[in-house]
Amino acid sequence: AIAAAGIALSMTQGWPARLEKNVVQTASLLDYRQGSAFRSSSCFLSSSSRSKPLDQALCLTPVPLKRNVLLVGDSHGAHIWYGLAAAYPDTHFMQATVSGCKPLLVPNGDARCYEIQHEVLTKTIAQTQPDAILLSARWKSADLKSVIDTVHQLSQKVAHVTVMGRIVEYRNPLPQLM
């Protein structure tokens, strides 16, 4: 009987129905893996995958009859994609995010960063004609002039350009800290 009860509890993962829904949901965050929330290696290129191109079909193709917003940035931009997509289901968020690459129209970072960001901020915008652009990065005060210049240039092509502020940084992923 004890063995049968043990097997039953094991197969039902400890009988989670005995716990409140919010407790089960919070406990599920222990298994959180940020790769899928970032769309790693397709719409978010880490420093190790920067040599790959962004997945144009998945990341940079507008959806007809939806508001299309282009999110461009570094890992800070990648962090907010999932939340934006979940909070605004009627908006399609295209994503071009590359680790350590600020979304600026002036050279910054290494040559590959500038190449990717410049292509997205010029060619991709011209081809996809997004309704709005969100720029998100780990900004520093020294970036201010470049950000202003970039916003000014992009505002001539797209009606709405928004610069997102820096996000809070933790040593471990926030869902696991919760």
* Cα(30)–Cα(175) distance, integer angstroms: 7
Q: What count of residues does the chain have?
A: 178
Mean residue pLDDT across the chain: 84
pTM equals 0.77
Of 21, 19, 3, the closest CA to residue 11 belongs to: 3
Query: pLDDT tens, 120-139?
Result: 999 999 999 999 999 999 99
pLDDT in tens, 29-63: 666 565 556 666 678 887 766 667 788 889 999 99
Q: Residue 150 CB: number of other CB atoms within 10 A?
A: 23
Integer-rounded Cα radius of gyration of the chain? 20
Residues whose CB is less than 8 angstroms from the CB of residue 106 and which lie 6 or more positions away in sequence, other chains included:
146, 149, 150
